[in-house]
Amino acid sequence: MTNSPHRLPTIIFYVLAVFAIFAAVIFLTDSEAEYINNAEALSCFDFSAGLALISPDAFDRHPEALYTPNDFLEGRTSAPTDEPAGGRYATYRLVLDLQGGVLYGITGLSATHAMTLWVDGVMLTQVGVPGDSYENMTAQTNFFTVYFVAGYAPTEIIIQRSGFVLAHGGRLNPLYFGEQPLITSWSILGHIRISILIGVTLMSVLLYLGIYLFFRNQKQFLWFSLMCVMIALRTLGIDFRIIATLLPQMTWQLDYLLAYLVTSAFAVAMILYIDAMFNNGANRLFKYAAIGFFAVHGIFMLLTNPAVYSQFNTPYNILMVLFISGVLANNIWRTAKSKAKWQAEYVLVIIGSLVNIVLGVTEVAIRTATPEAVANYTQAGILVFIFINTIALTIYFRRNEMELDETRKHEKQLAGENATLESLNRIKNNYLANMAHETKTPLTLISVDIQLAAALHEGDDGDAKLISEALGRAQEEILRVSRITENNLKLASMHSSGEKMTALDFSALLKSGAEVRRRLTEKNNNALVVSVPDDLPKVYGNADQLIQVLSNLIDNANRHTKYGKISIKASVCDGFLVTKVLDSGTGIPDELLPHIFVRGVSNSNSTGIGLPICKQIVEAHGGTISAQSEEGKGTVMTIKLPIYSEARERVENV
């Protein structure tokens, strides 16, 4: 990786800082609980010293039955089974020896999707209404906390649960159990943790959305803001079911659907964010296929019920991870292949993405193997991704600001230099314009007088004939000087005219420019052939200047060609309009060819200023001009001009 060695310590520091913050938020606000999955371990647990996270495996299980405390009291129950409580409904029973007179608490996410809980025959909570069929139950899932005072006899905990609304039938979630101070502390710390996480994500939304509003072309800030919105919504919906508290009228179907839609939206925003951070290096077809997959899945969920689309949760999660991994890998490969400069933010994006992907795959694997297992690694991975990429965006923004400051300083320096050059240029242009103005008029008058004298002596013999010939030669020389001053005048006017460029019909421009010079070529017994398509793209430029270039090239070709052919051809190649002026004339000597665009260089009695003017005009239009020639066979002059761009026109005319 380019320039990575000296950046490696900085990157390591940033990553360690992110994990330190993450640990402080997650682990320091989370009371430690011991996971217990059998009744024997639970019987000797000290509930005054710590919390127990009781697995469903610690209960006696009665599948396909909904027993009440009276059923157990009166012996109307079947024997418990050691097998997991299968089917769509079941009863769980746990008997504990607790310290009498002590206040205990039970908290956790209720069973999916209906649960009733009794302690010592007293119903303490009912989330939804369990039933033995879809018609007899009322579905709901929520976070609950209940307290009870233990008696001096063994405490009996009975839980009914039923689930007919999802493909997997629902499950009983592990429950936190302990004395009241520990349960209350765990609940308070959990709410603090959620408040911090939501506060951080919403702050990131406001910060980076604000940055995007100032820098509209930096889409990564927009996608990152959307990711933060999605993680805030997901956190509100999963932990403590806060969204259900804020919106008590929301149905469980909408709650369940929202969780998946938010996850899909996060995945889409993540794909677009990764691609934007790598300068849109991913394959477009693959990227849009990923986005299309999430869109189709969202529509599928909206059109079906949870019992249908929940069958595809595992394949959906696998494909989601594969698409995100594919976009990341595609960007890494393309960046490495192009040998682009690797910035620190690239490395951070890769690290954050890999952590998110690995934790997501781990959760999918655990839930696939053991559906009732406690696994919420996806949320942890998303939070790590958010924290790391907050730093990545900060580095990216800071580096851009520094580059912008350097550019401003450079522009300020150039502005001073340009002011000096413009002053010198004005002096030069004034000199050229004054010289052209002062010499052109008298030379023109002299030419007229000489023509008149030649006409007066045309009928005489002897000396009159010699005078006529001499005057003719003088006239030719005067016209040559006139051409010199004319070229100087054109050069001065080209620098100072300040004419606006416009979109030009290049086909029409070439044809009209060539037609003007046709009579001149015919006088030299040369055929002028124009092969220009009618549908050439437009060119952005000044019509007079471009016609001047074409005229100069035709005149040069005509001057060095007798009884030959001059051709003008045009085509489109690699985003440029390519024009060729070909002749069958004498050609240019090899030693002179590399210097023909230098002012004053000529292979005839011409001024040597025509081709430099052509070069200057073409380059001012963003193009290039070149020559190929072979003595005795002719010359090819090639002009390349960029195709018309509206963006350039807007910039040029500001």
652 band by pLDDT with thresholds 50, 70 and 90? low
The yes-or-no verdict on residue 9 having pLDDT over 80 is: no
Distance CA 593, CA 619 (A): 19
Q: Tell me what the mean pLDDT of segment 11-26 comes to.
A: 61
Q: pTM for the complete prediction?
A: 0.58
Burial of 82 from C-beta contacts in 10 A (0-12 / 13-18 / 19+): exposed
The whole-chain average pLDDT of the chain stands at 81
Amino acid at 560: H
Host H or E run for residue 386: helix 377-456
Beta bridge partners of 144: 108
Distance CA 257, CA 434 (A): 81
Distance CA 296, CA 169 (A): 25
Q: Which of 16-30, 201-215, 404-418 has the lowest mean pLDDT?
A: 16-30
Pairing of strands 502-504, 175-179: unpaired
186, 108 Cβ separation under 8 angstroms: no
Beta bridge partners of 541: 502
The two three-digit tokens of residue 358, written as one number: 């690995």
Q: How far is CA 240 from CA 85, 149, 191, 262, in A?
A: 25, 24, 8, 17
Phi, psi of 249 (to 5 degrees): -85, -5
For the four alpha carbons of 517, 519, 525 and 530, in that order, the dihedral sign comes to positive
The two three-digit tokens of residue 619, written as one number: 């380059």
Higher pLDDT, residue 102 or 420: 102
The yes-or-no verdict on residue 280 having pLDDT over 60 is: yes
Higher pLDDT, residue 530 or 259: 530
By residue count, the chain amounts to 654
pLDDT at 5: 42
Distance CA 101, CA 37 (A): 26
pLDDT at 123: 97
For 175, residues 6+ apart whose C-beta sits below 8 A from its C-beta are 53, 54, 106, 107, 108
